Structure 1
Amino acid sequence: MPGPYPVRFGTAELVRDAGRGNAWLVSVDGVAQSYVDLDDPAHLEFDYVRRFGDVVDRLPPGPVEALHIGGAACTLPRYVAATRPGSRQLVFDADGELVELVRAQLGLRVPGLRVRVTDGRAGLATRRDDSADLVVVDAFERATLAGGLATLEAAKAIAGILRPNGLYLANITDGSGLPFARRFLATLLPVFPEVLLLADPGVLRGRRFGNLVLAASAGQLPAAEIAARTASAAFPARCVYGAELRKLAGKAAPITDADAPPPPKPPEDILGLF
């Protein structure tokens, strides 16, 4: 099972975590893509995925209808299936070879889960309005955000797919000055009445490159509860919302299909940890 495998966007590798019985790290060209514990799908190893989980946990109890753009080893879909039995989930992933590798080596027989090989924007165009409780965008190609998923047009399409109190979660990356994150905030704020941001304090201050998680909804987000949970985590995160969030966005211009900056690229010396 371990070893190099050619996939659409590079060379994938599976590495077993010696500290856990049946846990695997999936990387492509040395960039970490997913960590999944097949015996304990409720275990979330990556900090930003744990933040996803913290927000999802505060949705009303019960099963959800979820759409995930970007799948890799399907860590979050497995988590949702384990913590919200009866959920129906669809994953769009553009790397068909990686999907087949995960299916063959790690299995994708997860209750209620379907995986479709397609580009994220093309997949969004196939979904009905008011058809999802949760939409998650976590799609990277060669360590950069997949094209067209951070634009105003994509945000509007996702808002249409979500039910009235549905939740949109996105993982982005940025570094010094947070120029991309500010523009992404300026993209979400005109579309969603409620937006919050979660990030490591060092990343939020622009001191180092890293992940930022955005949550958005037409309904009210339990920002104070999420802030308390993430502040007490093993690796604490700041939760920014309200006036502080709008101040962070400042006068940044929304990202559009016609005016999309190149996604930020991580420094070469941290690619293996990304």
Structure 2
Amino acid sequence: MASTLSASALRLSKPEVAVFSSGVASMGLEILAGRMIAPQFGSSIYTWGSIIGVFLTALSLGYHHGGRHAASRASNDRMVKVFLATALYVAGVIFFGDVMLRSAVAFPLPSRFASLPAVTLLFGPPTYLLGFVSPYAAELSEKEGTGEASGHVYAVGTVGSIVGAFATTYFLIPALSVAHIGLVFGLLSIATAVYVARPSIGRERAGRSLAVALVLVVAAASGGVGLSATGNVVYQTQTPYQELEVVDRGDTRTLYLDGQPHSAMDLDDPNAHVFDYTPYFHMPLLMTDDVDRVLFIGGGGFTGPKRFAAEYNVTVDVAEIDPEVVRVAKEYFAVEESENLNIHTTGGRQFLQETNRTYDLIVLDAYKKDKVPFQLTTVEFMRLANDRLDEDGVLLANVISAPSGPASKFYRAQYKTMSRVFPQVYSFPTQGGPVVQNIEVAATKNGTHISQAELAARNERRDIGIDLSEEITSYRDDARTDDVPVLRDDRAPVDSLLDPMVGQRYVVGEASESNETTANESDADATATAGAASDAIRAPEATRTAV
């Protein structure tokens, strides 16, 4: 008798299954929304605020309208229709999501609200439909009394939301693509509809369920309209941190993170510089002497670390937080760990806090146009980096911003913050004009000022395997900082500083072949050059080949 009661207590009723599934789907779709919206609008606090606000608004409207009509309309049949309609809309999101995103950009809104139309268009309707489930389930509940019925329904729905949040975050996103995650929630909705309709599902309902399931599968199999970057998509996945794509176009392989080009490799020459900002990683070699150990914070396609490890007699450490980025770099970007190249799968700040090593050069290459880990921008982080640099060490930050104009706020705030810790700070915009671009900001522990002329002279004397004369022409040693804050751990308004860049084109050029030189063209030439021996960094033991 006791076992019969226990089994009965554990068996969920149809309304309970419905409200549990709606909780799983609504929270799962909310987390998925962040991944779909990020490539177009970024993943700033404004984007996530829009996502949370739209989902709460849509659910509230669904609760309200469903509650008004629950007494007269609530039925299992109506819940079946709600779940099938939700699944069908999710199929549309999978197939037309990218087109809908691009069309939503046309709305004339301030940049911080730019993602609102897209989130509303893609996820407002299915979330609104799922909002009907809870009041319908409360009306159909077997519990006695309105309070007990509603409390039980919302408790079950909340448990579903918890399951949806954890399952999507820890299992679905690391394992599946956006389209396949959408397929999972669509099929969940169809399965719930079938469960609620049983045992007399009927031929008509079965046919509708099968038709919607077929549409979902076709949409997921197609990958959607215009979801991938132009070119041959070699590999695509969702990592715990970002959307990742490897795309081949001609002889160039590009790594895209959240839809933006992050690194590129020449398939014929894996160590060559493809993007025009990566040669600037060598600029600190003209600012300090005797570089033995280098740390890169942020790996991506490992353009800089590969080049340094291959060409210089130095030890290169890389701190890359995303293990999937490391795996992809090894499989698709010719990255191999060695005595000279060590990869640590951890955050940059955490690595600096835990290591007891010091470095001659730290390259901070973990920023994106619209997603900057604020903990790597603050004055406290700069002090930590300063402590991990040798006496004549250099910190180089690859900042994505504009050198002037409204979109320059983040660059100028970063410049001001670095200036609070380091005695000398220089910057090198990689493009002409006030467009959003890579700006290399170099800070030295040595207080001696280095002029543009001195840099040019050192470029002539030193043998660093690359000609930086063109890069030196963009030299700056000051920036207007009176209207931007110093970034601190307790106040780093990075999102608001990045806000003026929303909607602006991020310009990345190709590296010029003219700045690549053969390192050891002639021992006689090197000996004859005055001051070359004292100025040179540690050169490789073998002759390097021009790339």
Same-fold call, TM cutoff 0.5 = yes
**Aligned-partner Cα distance in 2 for 1:101–1:249:** 39
Write out per-residue CA displacement over residues 69-101 of structure 1, whole angstroms, 9 at most, x where no aligned residue.
11111111111112213x111111111112112
Cα 1:56–1:24 change in 2 (3 A) is farther
Q: Which amino acid aligns with 1:171?
A: N
**Aligned-partner Cα distance in 1 for 2:445–2:396:** 13
**Aligned-partner Cα distance in 1 for 2:508–2:359:** 32
SS of the counterpart of 2:375? Answer: coil
| Superposed displacement of residue 132, structure 1 | 0.6
Task: Look up the match of 1:25.
Answer: 254
Task: Look up the match of 1:3.
Answer: 235
| Superposed displacement of residue 189, structure 1 | 1.3
Match 2:413 to one of 171, 183, 196: 183
Match 1:270 to one of 492, 496, 505: 505
CA RMSD in angstroms, aligned pairs only: 2.9
Write out per-residue CA displacement over residues 133-174 of structure 1, whole angstroms, 9 at most, x where no aligned residue.
111111036842222111000000000000000111001122
SS of the counterpart of 1:43? Answer: coil
SS of the counterpart of 1:97? Answer: helix
Task: Look up the match of 2:335.
Answer: 108
| Residue 65, structure 1, aligned to residue 278, structure 2 | no
Task: Look up the match of 1:94.
Answer: 321
Judging by fraction of residues, say which structure has more helix. 2
**Aligned-partner Cα distance in 2 for 1:157–1:92:** 15
| Superposed displacement of residue 273, structure 1 | 5.5
| Residue 167, structure 1, aligned to residue 394, structure 2 | yes
| Residue 214, structure 1, aligned to residue 441, structure 2 | yes
- Which structure 1 segments of 5+ residues have no match? none
| Residue 255, structure 1, aligned to residue 491, structure 2 | no
Q: Is the 8 A contact 2:297 2:366 kept in 1?
A: yes
- Which structure 2 segments of 5+ residues have no match? 1-232, 460-466, 510-547
Q: Which has the higher contact order (CA 8 A, sep 6+)?
A: 1
Q: Which amino acid aligns with 1:102?
A: A
Cα 1:145–1:76 change in 2 (3 A) is same
| Superposed displacement of residue 4, structure 1 | 1.6
Equivalences, count? 260
Cα 1:272–1:210 change in 2 (3 A) is closer
What's the TM-score once normalised by structure 2's chain length?
0.43
Task: Look up the match of 2:280.
Answer: 51
Cα 1:193–1:271 change in 2 (3 A) is closer
SS of the counterpart of 2:306? Answer: helix
SS of the counterpart of 1:248? Answer: coil
What's the TM-score once normalised by structure 1's chain length?
0.82
Quick check: which has more Rg, 1 or 2? 2
**Aligned-partner Cα distance in 2 for 1:43–1:66:** 19
